[in-house]
Structure 1
Amino acid sequence: MRENERVTSATRRPETPASTVPTRLIATDLDGTLLHDDKTVSDRTIAALAAAEQAGIEVFFVTGRPARWMDVVSDHVHGHGLAICGNGAAVVDLHGGPGAHRFVKVRELAPDIALDVIQLLRAAAPGTVCAVERTFGLHLEPGYPLMHMEPPEIVSPAEKLLAKDALDAHQPVLKVLAFHPDMEPDDFLTVARTAIGTRANVTRSSPSALLEISGPGVSKASTLELCCAERGIAPEEVAAFGDMPNDVEMLTWAGRSYAMGNAHPAAIAAASGRTAPNNEDGVAIVIEQILAERL
């Protein structure tokens, strides 16, 4: 995949029959997909993940979450210990446990591009407020809602958050979060993509008008593709799961892909299959089917 290529459901490759190409890697989103709505991993899912690893199928968690929010699944990464975080902006080794993760790969958003994108958004959608996600912390503009799982480290205008002499300027920028208090989520996404173009990758995973902006060409799919290439795993050997627009590229790229029963229409259109909702262990159901095919 070229660095600036966007994969859409319209360009999805025909699915190879599962019986002819065994699955070697499972790539699953977390929130709204693997996790129940209460952010827990069910016993059935834990058992399915362990059985997949025991059968020699690698499991990658592929999420918009930052690495420091991965404690909920860090006990289930098994052998390789890796997760793709920040919508593809980082590959993280979670073996050390909570607070001891190690960045294996970082695909940063250049601060000058980040600031340019924020200014384009302000012009296209007045009222937009932003946050900057760096490798080890979240920094907010004044007026940005406190909607995340941790308090901000710094509150300041984006121009200061992204300045060369900013307090955490030595940490790479993984993504920009942009919130609009009044727009509909999908409308905000459309406006942002039109305004930003190929300058950066824009997506969303929240039910609110909250966008996630990564470097050009950086997505769950493109980073998953890099990780699979390192392992000699072809797209046809990957089964992917997701529920929101930030999963579309990954669902399109994988040879087998499943939208959850609770999925956004864009995810449904991109996937080659459907499974049960997250609260009904839809991922575990398919993993069990994949393992049964190998018998």
Structure 2
Amino acid sequence: MRAPWGDAAASTASSSPTPRSHDMANPASSARRCARATRGGTSDGSITRPSHGAPVRGNRVRHSGGAARGNRSAATAPRREEWAAGGHVDVAAVVTDLDGTLWHEPSTVHPRTRSALARLSASPVPVLVATGRRVHSTRAPLAALGVAPPAVVLNGALGLDLATGERFHQGGFTRGDAVVVLDVFHAHGVHPCVYVDDDTHPVRVSATPSTHPEHLADFGAHARVSDLHDVVGDAPVLAFGVLGIDRALAEAVGNALHGVATPHVDRARDYGGFTVTVAPATGSKWDGVAAYCAHHELDPAQVLAIGDGPNDVEMLAAAAVAVVPADAHPSALALADHVVAPAADGGWAELLDLLDIDTC
């Protein structure tokens, strides 16, 4: 599919098959599909190009102004230059975070967002979810919205098709690194949740878990009480996490983990307090996105990503187009090409103003 911003920069030449866009209705189709992302749109679907990089005014998307800011990937620089010049770039896939981005609360998804998700999911542009959630807590609320897209869960540790369970990516910790991370948590008196690739019991907790009681209850039968030292010594660990703890404690754990792993410290929207999620030192959501693109022969330099948190930073930096809600974490806002309304106000639906869906 193709997204309005000037002529898209050519894909980097390689000996591998030419990356193609993915046909959602028929993945095996040889028809080339694309989406064109535009800096502005009108209610009738036509394209408006703001002059001199000015924001699009009115009740829709507001452009953050000029070229993409922050530490952006060199691979997408030509596309960002097209964007800044008021042109267009090709978009091969749309990648979305969930909490704080698609929804404020999964039980109260804005009606405009529901409609936009249905429309985009029915288009030739593949929609990929990238979230810090585990498999079950990703699949269930999306099923309630009538979709089962491919998903990158646990901040990039695992990628799978939610409809079939087929894996397209698996990351995770080395045994030695997992032991070190657990020791850091324990040194601060915190007993984390340990996430493993096990369909029956994907969450392991100690007899005295530190995560919020409601978070623990949400696991239901998916959690198993275990000796966490045995878990990190034996099982392939995908991620660590704890929700709803004191801010000072969360920040202390996060600071201690820098250099050992990739910690993300942020507000715990559902439970109050703060959350600490931990991915491998070299891991991020973008790992799963890149694996999905490789699996489907898509150009990873033609991705539009939308996210709001510190755990979205690598993904936003690598994407050709970074879309960020207005109430996002400052580290995400620093990378925004477009700023949209908060999730609670249906800001996700503004993606439809950026994408001119056609067949090419």
TM-score by length of 2: 0.66
Q: Number of aligned pairs?
A: 271
1:159 matched to which residue of 2?
A: 229
- Please tell me whether Structure 1 or Structure 2 has the larger radius of gyration of its CA atoms: 2
1:134 matched to 2:196? The reply is: yes
- For the 8 Å contact 1:89–1:174, the answer to whether it is kept is yes
Contact 1:29-1:63 at 8 Å conserved across structures: yes
Deviation digits for residues 116-168 of structure 1 (CA, Å, limit 9, x no counterpart): 11213444xx223211112232122314132422246333442133343xxxx
Letter of the 1:219 partner, please give it: S
Q: Does 1:119 align with 2:180?
A: no
- CA spacing shift, 1:174–1:290, aligned 2, 3 Å: same
Distance in 1 (CA, whole Å) between partners of 2:229 and 2:250 is 27
Structure 2: gaps (5+ residues): 1-68
Provide the residue aligned with 2:104 in structure 1: 36
Q: Counterparts of 1:250 and 1:231 in 2: how far apart (Å)?
A: 18
CA RMSD of aligned residues (A): 2.9
Cα separation, partners in 2 of 1:193 and 1:17, compared to 1, 3 Å:
farther
Compared CA separation, residues 189 and 143, structure 1 to 2 (3 A): closer
Match of 1:5 in 2: none
Aligned to 1:71: 140
- Report if the CA contact (8 A) 2:93-2:125 is conserved: yes
Shift of 1:42: 3.5
Q: Partner letter of residue 156 of structure 2?
A: G
The CA distance in 2 between the partners of 1:280 and 1:185, in whole Å, is: 32
Segment of structure 1 superposing worse, 281-290 or 21-30: 281-290
Query: Which residue of the partner structure matches residue 4 of structure 1?
Result: none
Counterpart position of 2:113: 45
| CA 1:268–1:278: 2 relative to 1, 3 Å | same
Tell me, in whole angstroms, the C-alpha distance in 2 between the residues paired with 1:83 and 1:111.
Answer: 25
Q: 1:264 aligns with which of 304, 320, 329?
A: 329
The 8 Å contact of residues 254 and 265 in structure 2, kept in 1 or not, is answered as no
Deviation sequence 1:203-239 (CA, Å, 0-9, x none): 2454333221122322101221222233343344211
1:89 to 124, 145, 157: 157
Q: Percentage identity across aligned positions?
A: 26
Letter in 2 for 1:249: E
Q: Distance in 2 between matches of 1:50 and 1:254?
A: 23
Residue 192 (structure 1) aligned with residue 256 (structure 2): yes
Map 1:237-248 → 2, pairs under 5 A: 237-248=302-313
Aligned to 2:55: none
Letter in 1 for 2:314: E
Secondary structure of 1:139 counterpart:
strand
What stretches of structure 1 of length at least 5 have no aligned partner?
Answer: 1-7
Q: Does 1:27 align with 2:88?
A: no
Query: Taking structure 1 as the reference length, what is the TM-score of the superposition?
Result: 0.79
- C-alpha deviation, 1:12, in angstroms: 4.4
Other-structure match for 1:253: 318
**1:35 is paired with a residue of what secondary structure?**
coil
Match 1:150 to one of 209, 219, 226: 219
Local SS of the residue matching 2:305: strand
How far does the alpha carbon of each residue in 1:239-259 deviate from its partner, in whole angstroms, 9 at most, with x for none? 111111111111111111111
Change over 3 Å in CA distance of 1:144–1:161 after alignment to 2: farther
